[in-house]
Amino acid sequence: MKATRYGCIAVLVVSLALGVPPGLAATVGNYDVVQLTDNLGQDYFPTLNNLGQIVWTWNYIDDTSYEFYDGTKITALNASRAKPMLLNNQGQMAYEGYNFEIYFSSDGSAFTQIATTYNGIGNGLQLNDQGQMVWSDYDGTNWTICFFTNPGESHFADPDPTTEVDSPCLNNQGQVVWREVEGNTQELWLYDGSQVSSFYQATNKGLSHLQINDQGQIVWQESDSSGYCHIMLYDKGALRLEVDLQRRLKERGAEVSWFDLMRDLKQVQSVLIELDGQRDQLRTDLVGAAHQAFAAAGVRSPSTVMPLGPVA
């Protein structure tokens, strides 16, 4: 008798790597360290762009403002400081004022008020390299995701504006992702440049640290009721199978976390046996929620014993 063991692996793996290829060395020369600011007042919250420009907050006693380094000299910006200044790679700037106004400047020389929020920007203003901005707002009744692109501001339609929305994130392609919270359910939404759609929903889980890159990939942290934290990646539809399976499980009344489901599916093992010129495949019993996954997917569970015919 000849036996070969096979494993059924169902794992969602996210690998984000940044490194230097083996054998590639870098030679670092001497760099000068220069103190840009004087000792008059406090300087903090610096932001640096790819042009070598820097903007930061300056404070002395009760006087607070922004200062800007253009690569050669430092100038004070004509802006009434409230929160840290945003600076993109085109030299454009934006900030939120004391009375929840939003200001924008193409080069720092003059700032124009483009909007006024009701209660301040709950999760922060974002500015991309196209000069587009996004923020969340709440007027006491309705929640709104606000999107500014010249020449003006627009709002994304929400089926239920009374549902809390927050954590908007913007990439350089003008795509926006944000979180919606209703009770113990959290849902992620995406504006892809033309339309708004929901792409992920979780119950009794925490979704946070939402980011979207210029390729449209979205990453976030997810914590479940068991205390585990996971890094989740949405990669142009890579999560569709998971989302669809979770929806089908919910429709069947199956309450199981994704972590537990993956753990149970990993335990489904099979053994290929050759005996008297015949081949058979034997599998282990389904444990936990594994059988619910097959049922929700609309496929039969593999037979405990599956004849495969004569040995070739």
> Cα–chain-centroid distance for residue 312?
50
Is 16 or 173 the better-scoring residue by pLDDT? 173
Q: Which pLDDT band holds residue 29 (cuts at 50, 70, 90)?
A: low
**Per-residue pLDDT at 237:** 55
Task: Please give the mean pLDDT across all residues of the chain.
Answer: 80
User: What pLDDT is attached to residue 275?
Assistant: 84
Provide mean pLDDT across the span 103-131.
84
Q: What is the per-residue pLDDT across 66-86, written as a single tens digit (0 to 9) for each?
A: 999 999 999 999 887 668 899
Greater model confidence, 16 or 290: 290
Decide if pLDDT at 24 tops 60. Answer: no
Residue 170: pLDDT band with limits 50, 70, 90: very high
Name which residue leads in pLDDT, 133 or 99: 133
Q: Is the pLDDT of residue 53 over 90?
A: yes
pLDDT tens across 135-163, in order? 888 888 888 888 888 667 677 766 678 88
Give the mean model confidence (pLDDT) for residues 2-21.
Answer: 36
For 42, the 3-state DSSP assignment is: strand
- pLDDT more than 70, % of the chain: 82
Within 13 Å of residue 164, how many CA atoms lie on the same side as its CB? 10
Greatest mean pLDDT among 33-47, 109-123, 206-220 lies in 206-220
Residue 195 has pLDDT above 90, yes or no: no
**Edge-to-edge strand list for the sheet holding 74-76:** 42-48, 54-60, 63-69, 74-76
User: What are the pLDDT digits (tens) for 225-276?
Assistant: 777 788 888 886 555 566 677 778 888 888 777 667 778 888 888 888 888 8
What per-residue string of b and e applies to 169-208 under the rule 16 or more CB within 10 Å gives b? bbbebbbbbbbbbeeeebbbbbbeeeeeeebbbbeebebe
* CATH code linked to domain 38-247: 2.140.10.30
- State mean pLDDT over 195-222: 90
pLDDT for 268? 84
Q: Nearest 10 degrees: CA dihedral of 275, 281, 285, 286?
A: 180
Q: How confident is the model at residue 122 (pLDDT cuts 50, 70, 90)?
A: low
Other residues' Cβ atoms within 10 Å of the Cβ of residue 136: 21
61-69 average pLDDT score = 87
Q: Could you tell me the end-to-end alpha-carbon distance of the chain, in angstroms, rounded to an integer?
A: 15
DSSP bridge partners of 149 = 152
pLDDT at res. 242: 66
For the chain, give every domain's residue range: 38-247, 248-312
